[in-house]
Structure 1
Amino acid sequence: MINVNRLNKSVDGRKKQILREVSTRFEQGEMIGVVGPSGSGKSTLLRCLALREKWDGGEYTWDGETVIAGGGTGSQKYRSRCAYLEQNPSLYPERTALKNVLIGQVGQTPLIRRITGMVRSDDYMGAMDELEKFGLLDKAHVKAGKLSGGERQRVAICRALVHGAGFIAADEPVVGLDPQSAERVLTTLRTLCAEQGKIVVAALPMELAERYCSRIWGLYEGELKLDISGRRLTGEEKRSIELV
């Protein structure tokens, strides 16, 4: 279980507050959709939860162990257990899908791996297994720059799993994808929760959050206004976060 208590986040020297006193908890196997108008703080929330942004204040615990106390970014031990999926995943375009899965995320890969593409041989089969699970085995030796948007997202998911992520924060992962590709990506994420007990928190359009997620968070002006499980939002709830 992950507990978040009074998360605060500001920018511009703390002149502009993005997240205000966000408190919640979530467990293994949950897929949570984050909805809200543009500028409500969804991306910042996801980056904070995935330990990609420094917290100005708040407490963060994971299975009873303290990750953040009073602010900060958390230790590398916990950052390595979190993955952050961007709208357009950062892959090495001249590397194959397999190499991207194995050598890790752009900006977080050790220099020697970036230069040589070297990987540990015992990781190879695990990476191929993940690519096969998500229908990408035939793309393993295709350069990432030649993959479709949906394929790139699934490669990023495979990469997160191979590198040990138990929690995935996905920032609008299906923007720009055709309906079939979007369905493949979201079904993949939902399967990870149901079959592997992963936690996924994804910023999504309302209709997709209601279709694929077991729980919906409504964010408005940096505050967590709604936390609804097992059903669609009512018209009144949608109006409370200005989605209608």
Structure 2
Amino acid sequence: MFKVNNLKKSVEGNTKEVLHGISAEFEAGEMIGVIGPSGSGKSILLQCLALRESWNDGDYTWDGKSVIRGGGKGAGKFRSKCAYLEQNPTLNPEKTALKNVLIGQAGQTSLLRRLTGMVRSDDYMGAMDELEKFGLLDKAHLKAGNLSGGERQRVAICRALVHGAGFIAADEPVIGLDPHSADKVMTTLKSLCTEQGKTVIAALPIELAERYCTRIWGIYDGQLQLDVKGRRLTGEEKRQIDLA
């Protein structure tokens, strides 16, 4: 169980509040689509939930333990189990898909591994297993720079799983992808929730949120205006978040 209580976030030298007291609860296995107009606060919300951005106020509990007020140790432990997927995943284009999965992002792996690239055999097999699950086994030894956008996004998801992520915040993970690639990425994210009990919260176009998500959050002007089960939204619900 995750619980967000009165999350507030300011930018520009903490003079402009962009998230205004957001409160919500969610559980393992949920796939939540975050929708709203441009500038509504979707990206900064995801960064705060994945602890990639600090909070100005509020509390965040995970299985009853605070990861905001519990001090740096609590936040660090939680952050190691979170993954934040950017719109365009940061992969090393000169390294293979497999190497990108194994080395991971800063903070996920030891400095020695990042410098030497040395890995244990069980880590190697675990990475190959994840790549196979998501239809990337034949791409394992290709350089990331030669992969398509959808393939790079799925490599980033594999990387998160190999390094122990149980919670994934994805910022518009299908932006710029063709429909076929977008469907593959969304199916991959959905399978993490239904088959592995992971929690995924993703900023999405409204039609994909309606199609794939078990729950939809509507954000408008930094506030959570809508929190409903995943389904086709009504015209009135869309108007609440200026998407009608």
Q: Give TM class, smaller chain.
A: over 0.9
Say if 2:32 is the partner of 1:32.
yes
Say if 2:236 is the partner of 1:233.
no
Query: Equivalent residue for 1:191?
Result: 191
**After superposition, what is the alpha-carbon deviation per residue over 1:62-88, rounded to whole angstroms, capped at 9, x for unaligned?**
111111129989522110110000010
Structure 1 109/91 Cα, relative in aligned 2: closer, same or farther at 3 Å?
farther
Is residue 28–residue 199 contact of structure 2 (8 Å, CA) maintained in 1?
Answer: yes
Query: Equivalent residue for 1:2?
Result: 2
Amino acid at match of 2:10: S
Worse-superposed segment, 70-79 or 198-207 = 70-79
Amino acid at match of 2:162: V
Q: How does 1:104-183 map to 2 (within 5 A)?
A: 104-105=104-105, 109-183=109-183
Amino acid at match of 1:120: R
Query: Equivalent residue for 2:216?
Result: 216
Measure the CA separation in 2 of the matches of 1:2 and 1:173. 22
Q: What is the percent sequence identity of the aligned residues?
A: 75
Cα deviation, residue 49, structure 1: 0.3
Query: Equivalent residue for 1:95?
Result: 95
Query: Equivalent residue for 1:68?
Result: 68
What TM-score do the two structures reach when normalised by structure 1? Answer: 0.96
Cα deviation, residue 106, structure 1: 5.1
Is residue 58–residue 70 contact of structure 1 (8 Å, CA) maintained in 2?
Answer: no
Query: Equivalent residue for 2:53?
Result: 53
Measure the CA separation in 1 of the matches of 2:40 and 2:79. 24
Cα deviation, residue 119, structure 1: 1.9
Cα deviation, residue 114, structure 1: 3.1
Measure the CA separation in 1 of the matches of 2:4 and 2:103. 31
Structure 2 gaps of 5+ residues are none
Measure the CA separation in 1 of the matches of 2:194 and 2:207. 20
Q: SS of 1:135's equivalent?
A: coil
Measure the CA separation in 2 of the matches of 1:71 and 1:186. 35
Structure 1 gaps of 5+ residues are none
Cα deviation, residue 116, structure 1: 2.1
**After superposition, what is the alpha-carbon deviation per residue over 1:213-236, rounded to whole angstroms, capped at 9, x for unaligned?**
010000001000000114221101
Cα deviation, residue 13, structure 1: 1.7
Measure the CA separation in 1 of the matches of 2:228 and 2:191. 21
Q: What is the alpha-carbon root mean square deviation over aligned residues?
A: 1.6
Structure 1 73/13 Cα, relative in aligned 2: closer, same or farther at 3 Å?
farther
Amino acid at match of 2:85: L
Measure the CA separation in 2 of the matches of 1:172 and 1:75. 25
The number of residues matched between the two structures is: 244
Q: SS of 2:99's equivalent?
A: helix
Q: SS of 2:25's equivalent?
A: strand
**After superposition, what is the alpha-carbon deviation per residue over 1:11-47, rounded to whole angstroms, capped at 9, x for unaligned?**
1122111101000010011100000000000000000
Amino acid at match of 1:126: G
